[in-house]
Chains A and B, each alone.
Chain A
Amino acid sequence: MKKLMNDPKNVVEEMVEGYVKAHPDYIKQLPENDRALVTARETSDGKVGILIGGGSGHEPGFLGYVGDGMADGVAVGNIFASPSPDPILEVTKAIDKGAGVVYLYGNYAGDVMNFGMAAEMADLEEDIQVGMAKASDDVASAPKAEKEKRRGIAGEFFIYKAAGAAADFGYDLNEVVRVANKANDNTRSMGVGLSPCYLPQTGKPSFEIEDDEMEIGLGHHGEPGIEKGPLETADRVADRLVQDILADIEINEGDNVVVLVNGLGSTPRMDLYIVFRRVEQILSEKGIKIYRSYVGDYITSLEMGGCSVTLMKLDDELTKMVDHPVDCPMFVQK
Chain B
Amino acid sequence: MEFSAKDFKDFFKAIVTMVEEEKDYLCELDRKLGDGDHGVTMSIGWQAVNEKLNNELLEEEDCAKVSITVGKTFLSAVGSSVGPLYATGFMRGAKVVKGKTVVNDNDLAEYWIAFAKGIKERGQAEVGDKTMIDTLEPFYIALEKAFAETPDFLTAFTKAVSEAKKGMESTKDLVSKKGRSSRLGERSVGAQDPGATSAFFILSTFLDIAKERTATAS
A219-B41 contact, Cβ under 8 Å, with A81-B79, A84-B79: no
Is A108 in contact with B180, judged by CB distance below 8 angstroms? yes
Classify the secondary structure of A's interface with B.
loop
Contacts of A26 in B (CB 8 A): none
Checking A81, A114, A149, A202 against B36 with a beta-carbon cut-off of 8 angstroms, the contacting residue is A202
Please report which residues of chain B, range 4-18, place their CB below 8 angstroms from some CB of chain A when the two chains form the complex: none
Asked if B58 is at the interface (CB within 8 A of a chain A CB), the reply is: no
Classify the secondary structure of B's interface with A.
helix
Contact with A along B175-187 (1 / 0, CB 8 A): 0001111111101
**B contact residues, total (Cβ < 8 Å):** 33
Is B35 in contact with A221, judged by CB distance below 8 angstroms? yes
Contacts of B84 in A (CB 8 A): 85, 110, 113-114, 117
Nearest Cβ in chain A — how far from B52, in angstroms? 15
**A contact residues, total (Cβ < 8 Å):** 33
Asked if B128 is at the interface (CB within 8 A of a chain A CB), the reply is: no
Distance between Cα atoms of A219 and B182 in the complex (Å): 12
| Segment with Cβ contacts to A, from B70-78, B107-115, B136-144 | B70-78
Asked if A147 is at the interface (CB within 8 A of a chain B CB), the reply is: no
Contacts of A113 in B (CB 8 A): 81, 83-85, 122-123
Closest A residue to B180 using CB positions: A223
Closest B residue to A33 using CB positions: B76
A206-B78 contact, Cβ under 8 Å, with A114-B83, A149-B182: no
Number of A-B contacts (CB under 8 A): 97
Contact with A along B96-111 (1 / 0, CB 8 A): 0000000000000000
Contacts of A85 in B (CB 8 A): 75, 79, 84
Checking A78, A83, A223 against B181 with a beta-carbon cut-off of 8 angstroms, the contacting residue is A223
Is B183 in contact with A142, judged by CB distance below 8 angstroms? yes
Asked if A141 is at the interface (CB within 8 A of a chain B CB), the reply is: yes
A110-B36 contact, Cβ under 8 Å, with A81-B78, A84-B76, A206-B31: no
Contacts of A82 in B (CB 8 A): 79-81, 83
Distance between Cα atoms of A82 and B79 in the complex (Å): 5
Checking B34, B41, B77, B78 against A223 with a beta-carbon cut-off of 8 angstroms, the contacting residue is B34
Is B180 in contact with A219, judged by CB distance below 8 angstroms? yes
| Residues in chain B within 8 A of chain A (CB atoms) | 24, 27, 31, 34-37, 39-41, 44, 75-85, 122-123, 178-185, 187
